[in-house]
Structure 1
Amino acid sequence: MEEPTASWAPWNFQLATMVPAAGWAPGLFPAETESADEMFGSGRHQTSVPSSSSGGHQQHYDPTIENNAVQELFDDVDFHSMSMEMKRINQNNNPMRVFEVAAREFKVDIDTMKMKIHRYPTSIREFKQFEQWFTAPRLVAIGPYHHGRNHQLTHAEKAKHVAAYHCIMESGHPVQEVYDAVVSAAHEARSLSLYAKDAMAVIGDGDFLPMMFYDACFLVQYMAWYMNTGGSGDDETAVMDPSLRGFFDFNRKAILHDIMLLENQIPWRVVAAVLLFRPVDLASFVAQWKDYLQDRKHLVLQEKKPFVLDDGYEPPHLLGLLRFYIVGRSSAKRPTKPKIMSSISESVSAIELAEIGIELRANRAATEIIHMGVTYRRGTAALFAELSLPPLSLDDERASFLVNMAALELCTTSNFQEAEDEESAICSYLLLLAMLVDREEDVHELRKRRLLQGGGGLTNKEALEFLTGLQSLPLRGSSCYIRVMEEIEKYRINRPLQIMVHAFIYKHRTAIFTVFSVIGVLVSILGTLLSLKARSVIK
């Protein structure tokens, strides 16, 4: 990565205005200053986050609630300890207590599944095409999973300190007040075991709490920067220090990629704690992300109705927040299988759709992924249909975003077939796109249909590799996908004669066109001959 010039973010501000109060956790700000070159990656890096052995303020934590699903429950059980506990309890004539405790803890774990900071499913971890590009942060580690694992990720730690400093200064509140609010939310996240047990077992509060503080301030300052550069330009709170703005500007692609990774998240309640003191127009921020997957942008000033957040939705983290509004809400009924259907296809190619008279169409009016399905063309007496999908501008950042949203759905949806459409919409959307391509010509056809937009993203070959790679992931069974396949099957059942005629015409369209062309030429020649004959008779 190319390094910014030293003048962008000089480490020369004074921290004297932020002298910690009596209750302030030690070591949150660096004792010494460093140059911008050291801050952004060249030279020696000094971390200001205290180690787990830092003084008497260190608190030890022994998480007990399991954090993984059923298949991982017994992997984390210490059977020797359980055996000893069983012996002790048996002496008290209560042998079922151990099982009751385990069952209760497991229930709590399942109940908080949608709020957890999940790790990637095995299916994605084992798929080498996705492992590095779509799952590993490039510049900044958010949360404990990648913190300190890669030397390259330490370069952004100083930027977090800068972001925290300006976040506090712009809030107008004492640093202790803001930090205490973050600590309260972070303790709640830890008590609920929102992070994986193995990751939290090796990190104490002396490391975890400052990490949550710095990461939350960084994300809030990023949102403020994004509001000022994303098109609105009307958020006064988005005006920030030029050095921090320079860091965000220079690393915009890497930061955007990193903060959308499934394993690079912090609980939204922690971010919300900072937003209470340093507010950002969250509705406008989310509104600008709703059409992120498409080339066509809706200018905020031209929107007929202002975007309104759903007060009933509590996001688990930033990735979950944006996925919720990008997906949207469905008005479709839950998939059902009528008695007339003895079977249903699990997939169908673009050629098969064309043969039976279902045309691919980009739903350009749709700004939400959930709006996909089979519709019937107007003016054709419902003889033919269209498979309508929201268009997609596919580049590496959007591909990564889609994979991480799909991974989130895989982690939080226990049964795709029983879940609502919204809970597996990204998986359905990706699977529908993937089933339509088998060769580069198919990708080109999607571009002709405007389902794939833009010319500055992935090439046809790269898009083909990405979409065909999705077919190896366990995306099948998602309710929205099943509903679309059901609609296609109903179309087949209800229109056998029309499909037969259309299939014949489609398969022999070249020969038919040639025949009609020849007939047209013959008719033209015959007309000319008759005209000449008529003239000769008149003479």
Structure 2
Amino acid sequence: MVPKIGDFGISKCFDEKQSRHLTPNQCGSWGYIAPESFGGVITLKSDIYSLGIVILEILTGHRGGARTAKKHAEQEEAKPGSGAEAESGGGDVGGNLVSTADDPLGASAELEARLEDSSLVADTGFNTFMPIAEKFSNNKIDIDMMARKIHRYPARIRALCLDERYSTPMVVSIGPYHHGREHLQKAEKVKYVAATNCSRNSGHSVQEMYTEVVQLARRARGLYENDLVAGISDDDFLPMMFFDACFLVQYMLIMSDTDDSVEIDDASLCSFFDSNDQEICHDIMLLENQLPWPVVQAVMKFVKVPLDRFINSFKGYLQDHKDKLVGKTSSVGNYDPPHLLGLLRFYIVGENRTQPDTKFEISSVSFSISAVELAEIGVTLKPSETTEISHMGFKTTGALFAELSLAPLSLDSERASWLINMAAHELCTTSNFRAAEDEESAVCSYLLLLAMLVDREEDVQELRTKRLLQGGGGLNDREALAFFRSVQSLRLGSCYVRIMNDIETYRYKRQTRTIVHFFTGT
């Protein structure tokens, strides 16, 4: 008697949003299939049970499943008129089996007594199995934590082989991943000044604010990769959380000021922020340079930051010439960000109010088309009327013409870094782009569409002509082309797949209409 393929994967045969499922149809082997399955109940733990039995048999050398199957066969043969059924059914479980009271390991009283001995438990591998089972049961927790964690760069981003400036802070470390780097030490002294200024602004003592932060910072440790924070004691970790939060709050306070009403008493703090404005702006948007948002909020309980104004100061950051693009100011709603990068990405992406209900089940796109080639088939490139990245789309404007609209972009090295890190955040927090809303993969879609449009430097120039690329003080045509080529291997975002499908459909219909017109003149 050996386990069969049918014993595994059964619990995945229903909607992932369900935790239980009732079905009269089950198949599997006695001793391996989970007991509740015989009652027509499938749970998320059914696979774990089957795997656990196999692991225990390997570790202990006992074939519990075989004994249970034999016992079941004997019971079936003892039933009146069941001989033929037992012969035809073998060891597989049919639809007539609805319950079992069998011990899946067939443990006798003697074995149970022996298992009570802790040394035997260790010898038989139960101590080895328990952490494995616990790890499987914690999978759902890990998935739920994806959106909250402070992630490292995913393999897909590392594979882009981008310059170090896209991942390494220039002047200030936020959180533990870059803490202690020699070239960032000047900012450590500035953080102490920021904490003092927070205390002065709020009228509360540093100790009072620190106590509030510590209550959250202890839990924040679990949001970082354990192998990188395991060696950091609370004596180092907790003050780091506090001073980093004070630094961010002071920076947000200054950046949200539009009428010089914010008072920064310390001249050295003002000087540091003013002289390193672009570098700090770069550093706070690095994926690996983040602080859990609840820790920042703990300081904001004492120092009020007008988040609406702060967000609006960055909402149109990807454009030089905003004009009327920014539109109405943003109000902070119910969105609960994991960190500052997540907060700003949310409002830069915006909401795609025009997305259809249809989800295209496409895992790859079979063609690419440049800006020049789009023009040849009657597609006009057009900058969208807002700065929000999610407002991208393709629409026909007649039988033989169409428009592809994207948010305009002023591409320099700093904004390129923002885009890369926002895309990295999407890759880390959304496991399945096709099952998520368009906004969850909007930056990846945006970068892929721009990358699709450029194959030569002339294509980059075409984007400038169409005002999709703004300004001339950022990356030159060669540098922009190199950047767009580097992001072509990003995961396909849902907006990108939809637009590429629309372009392909349009191109096919246009060719058909052209052929009909050629032969019929209509």
TM-score relative to the length of structure 1: 0.69
Partner of 1:186: 217
Give, in angstroms, the shift of residue 95 of structure 1. Answer: 7.8
The match for 2:140 among 104, 107, 117 is 107
Q: Distance in 2 between matches of 1:383 and 1:376?
A: 8
TM superposition shift of 1:304? 7.2
Aligned-pair identity (%): 54
Q: CA deviation at 1:261?
A: 0.5
| CA spacing shift, 1:305–1:424, aligned 2, 3 Å | closer
Amino acid at match of 2:392: M
Aligned twin of 1:261 = 286
Cα contact 1:347–1:435 (8 A) shared by 2: yes
The answer on 1:233 being equivalent to 2:256 is: no
In the alignment of these two chains, the number of paired residues is 401
Stretch of structure 1 that moved more, 108-117 or 424-433: 108-117
Matches within 5 A, 1:265-280: 265-280=290-305
Aligned equivalents of 2:165 and 2:125: distance in 1? 55
- For 1:425 and 1:304, the matched residues in 2 are separated by 20
Mapped to 2, the partners of 1:372 and 1:165 lie a distance apart of 45
Q: Which is worse superposed, 383-392 or 487-496?
A: 487-496
Q: 1:277 to 1:456 in 2, by over 3 A?
A: same
Q: Answer yes or no: is the 8 Å Cα contact 2:254–2:262 preserved in 1.
A: no
Give, as a single letter, the amino acid of the residue that structure 2 aligns with 1:156.
A
**Aligned ranges for residues 104-503 of structure 1 at < 5 Å?**
104-130=137-163, 132-148=164-180, 150-190=181-221, 193-228=222-257, 232-233=258-259, 236-237=261-262, 239-297=264-322, 305-311=328-334, 313-331=335-353, 332-337=355-360, 345-363=366-384, 365-377=385-397, 381-471=398-488, 473-475=489-491, 477-498=492-513
- 1:154, 1:275 → 2: CA distance? 25
Amino acid corresponding to residue 303 of structure 2 in structure 1: R
1:314-367 deviation line (CA, Å, top 9, x unaligned): 1000000000010011220244459xx9x963432223322221111111x112
Are the equivalent residues in 2 in contact too, given 1:224–1:239 (CA < 8 A)?
no
Distance 1:241 1:181 in 2: 24
Conserved 8 A contact 1:262-1:408: yes
Q: Tell me the SS of whatever aligns to 1:375.
A: strand
Give the match's secondary structure for 1:308: coil
- Alpha-carbon spacing, 1:238–1:434, altered in 2? closer, same or farther (3 Å): farther
**Whole-angstrom distance in 1 between the partners of 2:504 and 2:119:** 56
By how many angstroms is 1:418 displaced?
A: 1.8
Any idea what SS the aligned residue of 2:133 has? helix
Give the AA of the match of 1:324. F
Question: Does the 8 A contact of 2:322 with 2:387 survive in 1?
Answer: no
Query: 5+ residue gaps in structure 1?
Result: 1-81, 504-539
Task: Give the SS at the match of 2:166.
Answer: coil
Evaluate the alpha carbon distance shift between residue 101 and residue 327 of structure 1 in structure 2; reply closer, same or farther with a 3 A threshold.
Answer: same
State the 1:287 CA deviation: 1.3
In the alignment, residue 270 of structure 2 is paired with which amino acid? R
Q: 1:412: Cα distance to partner?
A: 1.1
Seen in structure 2, the aligned counterparts of structure 1 residues 87 and 334 have a Cα distance that, compared at 3 Å, is: farther
After superposition, the C-alpha distances for 1:189-208 in whole angstroms (9 at most, x for unaligned) are 12xx2100111111111110
Q: CA deviation at 1:90?
A: 7.3
Answer whether contact 1:225 1:240 (CA < 8 A) is retained.
Answer: no
Matched-pair contact (CA < 8 Å) for 1:143–1:265: yes
Deviation (angstroms), 1:110:
1.5
Q: Give the alignment's TM-score, normalised by structure 2.
A: 0.72
Taking a change above 3 Å as real, the CA distance of residues 497 and 103 of structure 1, as seen in their structure-2 partners, is closer
* SS state at 2:165 partner: coil
Letter in 1 for 2:172: V
**Which structure has more RCO (C-alpha within 8 Å, separation ≥ 6)?**
1
Q: 1:382 to 1:415 in 2, by over 3 A?
A: same
1:242 CA displacement: 2.6
**Is the partner of 1:314 in helix, strand or coil?**
coil
1:395 is aligned with what amino acid?
A: D
Give yes or no for contact 2:251–2:273 (8 Å, CA) kept in 1: yes
CA contact (8 A) 2:316 2:326 kept: no
Aligned to 2:4: none
* Structure 1 residues 460 and 168, CA gap change in structure 2 (3 angstroms): same
Partner of 1:55: none
Cα pair 2:167 2:287 within 8 Å, conserved: yes
**Shift of residue 249, structure 1, vs aligned partner:** 0.4
- The alpha carbon displacement at 1:174 in A equals 2.1
* SS in structure 1 of the partner of residue 434 of structure 2: coil
CA RMSD of aligned residues (A): 2.8
The residue that corresponds to 2:68 in the other structure is: none
Q: 1:347 to 1:398 in 2, by over 3 A?
A: same
Question: Structure 2: which 5+ residue stretches go unaligned?
Answer: 1-58, 61-117
Following the alignment from structure 1 to structure 2, what is the Cα–Cα distance between the partners of residues 456 and 259?
A: 23
Structure 1 residues 362 and 501: CA distance shift in structure 2, 3 A? farther
Counterpart-to-counterpart distance in 2, 1:492 and 1:92: 62
